[in-house]
Amino acid sequence: MKITWLGHSGFRIEIADQILLIDPWLTGNPSFPDSRRAEAITGATHILLTHCHGDHASEAATLSRELGIPVCGGHELQAILGADGAEAIGFGKGGTITLGGVKVTMVHAVHSASIDFGGGPPRAGGSEAGYMIAGEGHVIYVSGDTDVMADMGIFAELHAPDIGILCCGGHYTMDIERAAFAARKFFDFKMVLPCHYGTFPLLAQSAEPLAEALPEVDVRLPAVMEVVEI
């Protein structure tokens, strides 16, 4: 398995026979080097969206058309992206889709969800979510944009994720202190990769304090486009 951070909340996950792009916001992302776009998306099989904010979903329809691959996520957002020419697979919280040798279950998150890109005022685009991605004997919890919540205890019992991809930048999502609390309180992660930090001045600029707060966990702090092999 290989996990590559694409900056902000974007990840490329090579797992089993799939290459998943999670919230792939590349164009306009100040953390992502434009010169490495082809490298980031080559071979991708599916796109997974946690919600419809522009820093997560604005490039999804373009990538779907360009690569000829489906976008997967909440039913309402996928209906909208499908009308924009994307190949779309919509499902809901608690639902599981099978992508080759990988199973993806949508789980709850606590945030907001409106389409805030493409011009005009924000409009409804379904609900925010996270994912449990199971394959190669591992389960990855992708938190999406969220605060800490008691539901995480249920997720841990049902899915037992050993890898956590956790937002931690604060202001719009849980901050580092709350992400560390969530990891300690609810999960038994062997590895954590932080995200949603460093992109804008309002966010935490470093995730080093998360590693310091979780000394018993292998907290990885890769550079953008650095591959973490598991």
**Domains present along the chain, CATH in parentheses:** 2-222 (3.60.15.10)
Q: What integer pLDDT is reported at residue 121 of this predicted model?
A: 81
Q: Is 27 left (phi over 0), alpha (psi -120 to 50) or beta?
A: beta
Low-confidence ranges of the chain (pLDDT < 70): none
Residue pair 195/164 in contact by the 8 Å Cβ criterion? no
